[in-house]
Structure 1
Amino acid sequence: MRLGFLLSRRWVLFFAAVLLMAWGAVRLGEWQFHRLHDREQRNAWTERNLAASPAPVADVLSVDAPLPESREFRRVTASGTYDAAGTFVVRYQTRDGDGGVDVVTPLRLDDGSYVLVDRGWTATQDPGFGPDDAPNPPAGRVQVTGWARADSTGDKTGITGGSTREVSSRAATDRVDGPLRQGFVDLQRETPTVTPALVPVDKPDLGDGPHLFYGIQWWFFGALAVGGFGYLVWDEARGGQRPRRKPPSTGRATPVT
């Protein structure tokens, strides 16, 4: 087969485009595999933290430093009194297809510091639902158990009109009268209880997600690009698809009737 055509400008550019496409597909596949590794690491940390005995919240959530990723979902306990005046809600939270909000209230600890407690979810279709509409926390001293969570980041953490899109202690410092521990607690159990009780947060998802499938898919696309280019080279080298020859004429004239 003659391959001199590969030196033409058209085929050189075509080859460069295929290489760029294949390289991009390989890198995207590697990125997905790295995300899979990170997800597996977070799941291992989460499983370890969920299985551990509860620790005092002061040993896990600090006033001076954010919660490390390796300690998220560590079970913690805390005692104190809720500061109902600092309550705010997290908008657009759904459970089983129903719309609602999460209710977050600062808890004043015995040492004078505060920690945000996501007390749970309540259903509402009212977009103007605010902290004054939320069920009140227990009065007096309470004992809570829950999961330590890291602050959310980004531009959705600001608290406006007593509501936010994502929980961040850094956006709630003006809602308490003392030092606020970084992060927050997803409530699982409190004593005494209140009626009506809010719906506690579900356990974290420990699945690996779609990253393995996506990584294989990107590598398949890269192999497909290289294989397709090789086929086109082979087809061009053999002269392409030649049209079928017409059957030879017999030389006889068609009789006129």
Structure 2
Amino acid sequence: MYRFMLSARWIGFAIFVIVLAALCTRLGFWQMHKLELRLDRNDIITQHFSTDPVDIDTAMPPGSAVDKTNEWTRVSATGTYDVDQQLTVKFTTRDGAPGVDVVTPLVLPSGDALLVDRGWMETQNTVKRPKVPAPPTGEVTVEGWLRQNNGAGGAAVRPSEGQIRAISSDALGQVMPYDLVDGYVNLQAEKPAPATALAAEPKPELGQGPHFFYALQWWFFALLATVGYFWFARAEAKERRNPTRLDGFADQPGKKPRQSNFPTPA
């Protein structure tokens, strides 16, 4: 009764279902892998946030880079802000409101500089650079956490009229008059305090995210495709065993056919 499944049509259907189920299963495991990465990231962040700030020279010795292991390290640094090299990161939002982040290099005693994201302010997203509050003058001590360079390139990290779309010490180090420490710092506190403070970067979300439920959804789709294949096969086998009669005749042997209400043609 199921020999029809050896036909070209049903073999093609089976191959499609196998590929679809395999793809959905793979996507489910991919989401679980993303969940593991997120949990590992949460552990690293929690560990860093539970320790005291480390001096930037200790956290970032010459030649070192910010990676997934030391990102979010709480650091402190003392230096002088260089307002002439200050930039704004345009097209940023907080709770749906448009605004900019303000990035100011902090020149260290060594002569190198550290990019400091001093915070966010609400403003209209326009091409023209907005006016932003000035940082403290003179020697300043800052505290914050290390962040990796943004992976964007090209015009996104190249300053234009004092604005950028993403922060990269690699790109900005080519246009600024000093060497830059790798990455940048999200400012959380500074002494002395500025006359007008910007909104500090909020702590990162440490939840699990939707990855687990996305994985369940993909695996459900894989199961649905497999079950659907056998359901359609069973339905066709049943139809072949008891074909639907279009002429009104009964399927049971020996039973008289129903009389037609239409006249018999001459």
Q: TM-score, normalised by structure 2?
A: 0.88
Gaps of 5+ in 2: 251-255, 262-266
1:19 corresponds in structure 2 to 18
Name the aligned partner's letter for residue 146 of structure 2.
Answer: A
Contact 1:122 1:198 in 2 (8 A): yes
2:35 paired with 1:36: yes
Alignment partner of 1:182: what SS?
coil
Partners of 1:81 and 1:47 in 2: how far apart?
30
1:152 Cα deviation (Å)? 0.7
Counterpart of 2:138, as a letter, is: G
Distance 1:178 1:188 in 2: 24
Q: CA deviation at 1:249?
A: 6.9
Shift of 1:215: 0.7
Give the whole-Å Cα distance in 1 for the aligned partners of 2:147 and 2:86.
18
Paired residues for 1:51-90 under 5 Å: 51-90=50-89
Matched, 1:130 2:129: yes
> Residue 264 of structure 2 corresponds to which residue in structure 1?
none
* 1:1-257 pair list within 5 angstroms: 2-130=1-129, 133-155=131-153, 156-239=156-239, 242-243=243-244
> Is the 2:157–2:172 Cα contact (8 Å) retained in structure 1?
no
Structure 2 Cα separation of the partners of residues 250 and 186 of structure 1: 84
Q: 1:249 to 1:180 in 2, by over 3 A?
A: closer
Shift of 1:94: 1.3
SS of equivalent residue, structure 2 residue 22: helix
Change (3 A) 1:236 1:179: same
For 2:55, give the aligned amino acid: P
Judge conservation of contact 2:93–2:99 (CA < 8 Å) in 1: yes
Provide the C-alpha distance between the structure 2 equivalents of 1:208 and 1:249, rounded to a whole number of angstroms: 66
For residues 242 and 11 of structure 1, the distance between their equivalents in structure 2, rounded to whole angstroms, comes to 19
- Indicate conservation of the 8 Å contact 1:116/1:184, yes or no: yes
Structure-2 separation of matches of 1:175 and 1:4: 73
Report Cα offsets for 1:183-216 as digits up to 9, x if no partner. Answer: 0000000011112211111111111111111111
Contact persistence 1:99–1:125 (CA under 8 A) = yes
- AA matched with 2:184: F
Percent sequence identity is: 38
State the distance in 2 between where 1:20 and 1:233 align: 18
Q: Which amino acid aligns with 1:213?
A: F
Question: Are the counterparts in 1 of residues 128 and 161 from structure 2 also a CA contact under 8 Å?
Answer: no
TM-score, with structure 1 as normaliser: 0.91
Cα offset, 1:59, TM superposition: 2.0
Change (3 A) 1:172 1:70: same
C-alpha displacement of 1:145: 0.4
Aligned residues between the structures:
250
How big is the alpha-carbon RMSD for the aligned residues of Structure 1 and Structure 2?
2.0
CA gap 1:249/1:228 in 2 versus in 1, 3 angstroms: closer
CA deviation after TM superposition for structure 1 residue 62, in Å: 4.6
Contact 1:146/1:189 (<8 A) preserved: yes
Question: Per the alignment, in what secondary structure is the counterpart of residue 72 of structure 2?
Answer: coil
- 8 A contact 2:66–2:148 mirrored in 1: yes
Distance change >3 Å, CA 134–CA 149, structure 1 → 2 = same
Moved over 3 A (4+): 240-251
